[in-house]
Structure 1
């Protein structure tokens, strides 16, 4: 009799509370923002340093002084000053060189072609501009007053006809990231997040150490290709794991602020590490040090419970949830776990029924095809503009260490702005405004005279694209239908890697004209700003599940809909807020 009463009470309790249908439903019971989650948030710190160091270290490994000229060995034993040697051997800059850099009035790549031995006894101490000229024969002399160390680019003299070597090496790094995306993505899907995290960080570590021993362009490219395979996954795999364990109400904060705090600190610190170490080989080793933390990951980081569920290993997922419950000091009834386990089994069956869909299905319906192409173009251009502003910083100010650090600090206010405004203004208008800011200040920078004001305008432009890049992380994952979401997001981000490859060449346009890089970046920013308005808004909308829902998504939306105005028709639609929060989709998209 008593067992019947207890069963009835349990049944009543189940009726009163919300049914546990997915992972987010059980998180409040085990703790969705307790000690367990904050410990994971803290563990992100060293991996954020890894991410920033892998991304930006090559910038400082190949940093080149702006002032250099031909070394003329025939004058080494002359008893004259360096200024006299310079005046006697280096011709004025020609018209082409002045177009590239009007501040440098001497030729960087040519010397006078005369017999200095015969000239020594003639008493001539000033050059004749009519003397014949030849390319530098014995290397270059560099002015290290603004960059206090010899980078590999200066050591191997990647200047003049080899000036593009640094650009090629940077592109090779991102070719590696495409390869690594496939390799470590496969490992993460088939063998688990932790093996992929450890493997990619180990590859990045050994590749960075090997970089310190490079002595040629080709060995440097090979090492950077290897290091590049670790880029993205070195941080994002753990980032996904952490956010998966965080409850819906706290994901926006943890997703934005973890990146805002940690990535800002690490990328702002890196220029000063390069400055203080003042040795490119040691810098490569020092920036590899944080990757060692990955070898301790099995004792620090839990495997993704969601991954266990996706592989049908429900008991192991339950084990991970009980660890979280214990750490957070919670007590969860047996009925809760049983109900969740039943939902997981149903979910596994549903997933197996959707395995027949491929990324090609995104292009079988006209409007869904349009959305996919727009999302791909949106992400590609944002990455191109972001990388362009990163690498262009060395063209804006000779004090590249200060300017790079200040620009990196814009990540934090960008994260704060997103946390406060994104769920009020929506993705379209925030994307439009942020890229419009980037476009305007890119052109304003062109109109400014060289100096601190120019750097300030460039930093504001960087702030705008920082916001847009963070929005771009989640846009695709919110808009593509569930049955092909993972494959579609992977396709978009793999195509985005090509923007990383192209980005350094945008800055290389400065070799043709100093104004070209910012002109291109400003125009691209304006294109992206306008484009954002021609995509559907995802804020407050149910995420599409089927291909048909994906094709119809956003049809009823007005072009001028502002989500922050609650009286608009779109707010009155039958669409409810999705149970799966947008922040989770954002971090899923980095795979």
Structure 2
């Protein structure tokens, strides 16, 4: 709503309230990162070997083994108990429950249920957010995250573990996205991308780097879940600080509450607003809502050939990128280094990825950024698998090479993930952008169901996860080439615009190859603009 942006400017759209909301958003980033990666931390698999007839004087085996020592794969012997060499003394859920070897599938299934919960939760909570508001769902989602993790402490059998991980995953995305929307709506449009991405880049990165060391400090998976869950109890206090979305209140014709939010905003920002401004604002909103327009829905994206093709590519690209991002970020074992150190090292790529995106995406274009980052990550991830296959013994040189390749691969996937979020937002026509972007996001989360199974293939063939992820990254890079460029072009507003958008683009032509004047000339005032200057913003991780 244009009226909302105007009145927000009068009340102060980048002042004390906005800085306070950004501070709270930074806290949400730390909490969201700890919640998302909790499943990885509790699932670490330390080196293990069969304790049956094991002589401690013989020393600890160099590799994990499911069979009694001295036996081979052709023997029918089974192991009754296991010993573990714990990473830095940390007892994981896996080592306590002995979900290894023949029972390793239980852990994989439980992890997958987390992503099933995230898909269901994103849809359900997103729907409820349009009914009861953004702020209540923000608080509810974070309380669900706390509840799911605390209940997991008592999930010592497969059924309960799967149920409680489903509950924990139910909050994923909504516990972050609702606060993102609120901060974005109350901030000056020209500063949204920069302000939000800096908050996410710094604090999501910080939370991701710190979370494994919390586990080391506490020493057990139960204590880790408890310590990382309790801070979520602070989120209900947001109710007394964070205002509800003015745009949502107006859409529900709750004009008095919308004006109350604006008054409180002006008071915190030290602005004196004449009462007539609020009266005029409400009258304008009422006039616009007297003649509601029928709008298309997401299914209309599939009615015309080019729009259908682009939408399906966006769906598949989101699946590939989200799957690779999740699997690569959790693929911290089997590289010859402590998974805690590897986890923190790979998390350091989040902030530089955000900075690189800010620096280059508006220069070389969306298509080039997404395809090149996926191409490079696919190459480095695949080479990591090749090094794992070729390495017959873990040496310092081999370990350093594997860690370096893995970190570079994580960096490329992070850049591609961030770039892909904005790319989808720009390509989907304005009339169905909200529904379309939500659907793309959910499809990506749905595909992460398979990330645990991909990592599980390491038990079959050591470099197999890297091979699968590398191939998927390369496939994603190829798909990005089939999408039209959006930089410096009038974004599609209607379904017809979406059908004709980039009709004459070739897959091998990138934005930086074209003359800038040619692209700029295609912009039409008032009909659309590049997202970097619009009211939309992308989500960075």
In the superposition, the TM-score normalised over structure 2's length comes to 0.91
- Summarize deviations over 1:115-148 as a string: whole Å, max 9, x none: xxxxxxxxxxxx6x7998334342211122x342
Q: Residue 134 of structure 1 aligns with which residue?
A: 76
* Counterpart secondary structure, 2:76: strand
Task: Please list, as runs of the form range in 1=range in 2, the aligned pairs for 1:174-323 lying within 5 A after superposition.
Answer: 174-323=115-264
Q: Residue 63 of structure 1 aligns with which residue?
A: 44
- Summarize deviations over 1:330-368 as a string: whole Å, max 9, x none: 344566555544543355456x4225x332111111111
Is 2:435 aligned against 1:461?
no
Q: What CA distance in whole angstroms lies between the structure 1 residues aligned with 2:522 and 2:67?
A: 70
Equivalent position to 1:108, from 60, 65, 72:
65
- Summarize deviations over 1:64-121 as a string: whole Å, max 9, x none: 11x222222xx48xxxx523598xxx9xxxxxxxxxxxx73xx712237xxxxxxxxx
Q: What CA distance in whole angstroms lies between the structure 1 residues aligned with 2:530 and 2:10?
A: 17
Q: What CA distance in whole angstroms lies between the structure 2 residues aligned with 1:462 and 1:193?
A: 32
Equivalent position to 1:377, from 316, 335, 341:
316
Question: Shift of residue 588 of structure 1?
Answer: 8.3
Structure of larger gyration radius = 1
Q: What CA distance in whole angstroms lies between the structure 1 residues aligned with 2:13 and 2:277?
A: 15
* Counterpart secondary structure, 2:89: coil
Equivalent position to 1:353, from 290, 293, 313:
293
Q: What CA distance in whole angstroms lies between the structure 2 residues aligned with 1:373 and 1:503?
A: 21
Contact residue 264 and residue 408 of structure 1 kept, 8 A: yes
* Counterpart secondary structure, 2:516: coil
Is 2:465 aligned against 1:525?
no
Q: What CA distance in whole angstroms lies between the structure 2 residues aligned with 1:161 and 1:202?
A: 35
Q: Mark the CA change 1:371 to 1:332 in structure 2 (over 3 Å): closer, same or farther.
A: farther
In structure 1, the gaps of 5 or more residues are: 1-19, 91-102, 113-126
- Summarize deviations over 1:455-498 as a string: whole Å, max 9, x none: 11111111111111112222222222233222222222221122
Q: What CA distance in whole angstroms lies between the structure 1 residues aligned with 2:399 and 2:78?
A: 31
Question: Shift of residue 412 of structure 1?
Answer: 0.5
Q: Residue 109 of structure 2 aligns with which residue?
A: 168
* Counterpart secondary structure, 2:308: helix
Question: Shift of residue 417 of structure 1?
Answer: 1.3
Q: Mark the CA change 1:320 to 1:564 in structure 2 (over 3 Å): closer, same or farther.
A: farther
Q: Mark the CA change 1:561 to 1:159 in structure 2 (over 3 Å): closer, same or farther.
A: closer
Q: What CA distance in whole angstroms lies between the structure 2 residues aligned with 1:158 and 1:196?
A: 35
* Counterpart secondary structure, 1:259: helix
RMSD, matched Cα: 2.7
Q: What CA distance in whole angstroms lies between the structure 2 residues aligned with 1:395 and 1:344?
A: 59
In structure 2, the gaps of 5 or more residues are: 392-397
Question: Shift of residue 217 of structure 1?
Answer: 2.4
Q: Residue 8 of structure 2 aligns with which residue?
A: 27
Q: Residue 426 of structure 1 aligns with which residue?
A: 365
Q: What CA distance in whole angstroms lies between the structure 1 residues aligned with 2:154 and 2:523?
A: 62
Task: Please list, as runs of the form range in 1=range in 2, the aligned pairs for 1:472-551 lying within 5 A after superposition.
Answer: 472-551=420-499
Q: Mark the CA change 1:412 to 1:85 in structure 2 (over 3 Å): closer, same or farther.
A: closer
Question: Shift of residue 589 of structure 1?
Answer: 11
Contact residue 561 and residue 570 of structure 1 kept, 8 A: no
Q: Residue 394 of structure 2 aligns with which residue?
A: none
Question: Shift of residue 430 of structure 1?
Answer: 1.0
Aligned length: 529
Deviates more, 1:320-329 or 1:555-564: 555-564
In the superposition, the TM-score normalised over structure 1's length comes to 0.83
Q: What CA distance in whole angstroms lies between the structure 2 residues aligned with 1:530 and 1:342?
A: 51
Contact residue 21 and residue 340 of structure 1 kept, 8 A: no
Contact residue 322 and residue 444 of structure 2 kept, 8 A: yes
Contact residue 354 and residue 483 of structure 1 kept, 8 A: no
Equivalent position to 1:400, from 339, 342, 349:
339
